[in-house]
Chains A and B, each alone.
Chain A
Amino acid sequence: VHLVESGGGLVQPGTSLRLSCAASGFTFDEYAMHWVRQAPGKGLEWVSGLSWNGDYLDYADSVKGRFTISRDNPKNSLYLQLNSLGPEDTAFYYCARGGPTITDYSTLDVWGQGTTVTVSS
């Protein structure tokens, strides 16, 4: 079971970025998927989650209206579109697998290595 994030980088405030997460080793469309971030010197912060079929999604208040989560099940891929980025979004972004049922929807049992997003002028 493997998750590999990509798409991070150094960007200016106000700009956009799209993160990707490639999944392998499990039946992707049977699991919820999430994004979690860790700002420098801070703890883990759940960012967004998406159900197995894409019907249900949610966001942390800190990113609601700016970030969009999506998935392409045939491509075994998860995405996070980050718009209107600010310095407060500077963080290490992890892709994580949730559970296959509603009771363990946000129990994160597999994590990717992460990708760094730095927002600075």
Chain B
Amino acid sequence: DIQMTQSPSSLSASVGDRVAITCRASQTIITSLNWYQHKAGKVPKLLISGASRLQSGVPSRFSGGGSETDFTLTISSLQPDDIATYYCQQSYGLPATFGQGTKVEIK
């Protein structure tokens, strides 16, 4: 199975800060990497697919990059609405493994 490792496991930042979450795959997954946002009490939401393809309706402050084994989700200017846990997920092979999640809080 392909293991996905996210870092950090949690972070606290101020409104307006630039925030970056990294995700590392245990083997190359090319760009088959998705990012999800999961707010407390809500349904997970697909933010980015194919490592960098922003989904319709997702604010442009979110961006994704990387390839092979190393990927990054960046929030260019953190907003209160961004409080959530973020998960990476590889869709290169099965099982479609998730990272352990990064909890984002406002300082």
* A positions within 8 Å CB-CB of B: 34, 36, 43-46, 49, 58-61, 94, 96, 103-109, 111-114
Most buried by B among A61, A104, A108: A108
Report the separation of the CA atoms of residues A36 and B38 in the bound assembly, to the nearest whole angstrom: 13
- Beyond the given A46-B89, A107-B49, please list 4 additional residue pairs across the A-B interface where CB-CB is below 8 A: A44-B44, A46-B97, A107-B91, A111-B44
Q: Which of B58-106 contact A (CB under 8 A)?
A: 85, 87, 89, 91, 94-101
| Partner among B43, B49, B87, B96 whose Cβ is within 8 Å of the Cβ of A112 | B43
B12 close to chain A: CB less than 8 A: no
Determine whether the beta carbon of A44 is less than 8 Å from that of B94: no
Main secondary structure of the interface of A (DSSP, over half): mixed
A103 to B49, CA, bound (A): 11
- Interface of B toward A, CB cutoff 8 Å: 1, 32, 34, 36, 38, 43-46, 49-50, 55, 85, 87, 89, 91, 94-101
Task: List 30 A-B pairs, Cβ < 8 Å.
Answer: A34-B96, A43-B85, A44-B36, A44-B38, A44-B44, A44-B87, A44-B89, A46-B89, A46-B98, A49-B94, A49-B96, A59-B95, A60-B95, A94-B43, A94-B44, A103-B32, A104-B49, A104-B50, A106-B89, A106-B96, A107-B34, A107-B46, A107-B49, A108-B36, A109-B49, A111-B43, A111-B44, A111-B45, A112-B43, A113-B43
Q: How far is the CA of A30 from the CA of B97 in the complex (A)?
A: 23
Q: Please, how many angstroms separate the alpha-carbon atoms of A60 and B85 in the complex?
A: 22
Q: Which residues of B contact A60 (CB under 8 A)?
A: 95
Task: Establish whether residues B95 and A46, one from each chain, have CB atoms under 8 Å apart when the complex forms.
Answer: yes
